[in-house]
Amino acid sequence: MIIKLDRGDITKMSVDAIVNAANSSLLGGGGVDGAIHRVAGPELLMECKKLNGCPTGEAKITKAYNLPCKHVIHTVGPIWRGGNNYESKQLKSCYKNSLKLAEAYELESIVFPNISTGVYGYPKEDAAKIAIETVMNKSAKLRYLKEITFCVFDDTNYEIYKELLKDII
């Protein structure tokens, strides 16, 4: 298993799947979600409409359309409400369910953004720890996935991930 860290634009990643930090409607929004929908084109929205939304912590998969990847795995992260409302459990579920879908589709590479750390307000360092811990705990059981990348957009998240991954990558 190869674990990577990339600082850049997730919509430019040429992999089997990118993960979309979506809202529960799956119909586009701001941040990563909006960027993915803009680049993918209107066909993504049409496919997402047929999925009837997605509950927090769950994941659904679509084609990628105009994106350079093959699939988009949409997962809905928790809104931060202070940490006592099952947010960490829900965030772990986002990663677990995204990996489960990737395995079900026999994908070899996946890219994760910083789920819930934008407008949903999840503390960045806590979210990064959960992301890395969950992926590492699941990695030994993965049959198809060979490469997992954490793609961050800003310097703060890059430094957090770089520090947390220093003994892994």
Q: Please report, for the domain that includes residue 49, its CATH number.
A: 3.40.220.10
- The predicted-structure confidence for 52-66, as pLDDT tens digits, reads as follows 999 999 999 999 999
Task: Return all residues near 15 (Cβ < 8 A) that are at least 6 apart.
Answer: 69, 70, 109, 110, 111, 147, 149
Ramachandran region of residue 48, left (φ > 0), alpha (ψ -120 to 50) or beta?
alpha
Average pLDDT over the chain, rounded to an integer: 96
- The predicted-structure confidence for 74-97, as pLDDT tens digits, reads as follows 999 999 999 999 999 999 999 999
Where does residue 86 rank: exposed (0-12), middle (13-18), buried (19+ CB within 10 A)? middle
Count of residues in the chain: 169
Q: Evaluate whether 127 touches 91 at the Cβ level (below 8 Å).
A: yes
Q: How far apart are the first and last CA of the chain?
A: 11
Question: pTM of the full predicted structure?
Answer: 0.96
pLDDT category at 140 given cuts 50, 70, 90 is confident
> Which domain does 40 fall in, by range?
2-165
Number of domains in the chain: 1
Indicate if the alpha-carbon torsion angle 94, 100, 104, 106 is positive or negative: positive
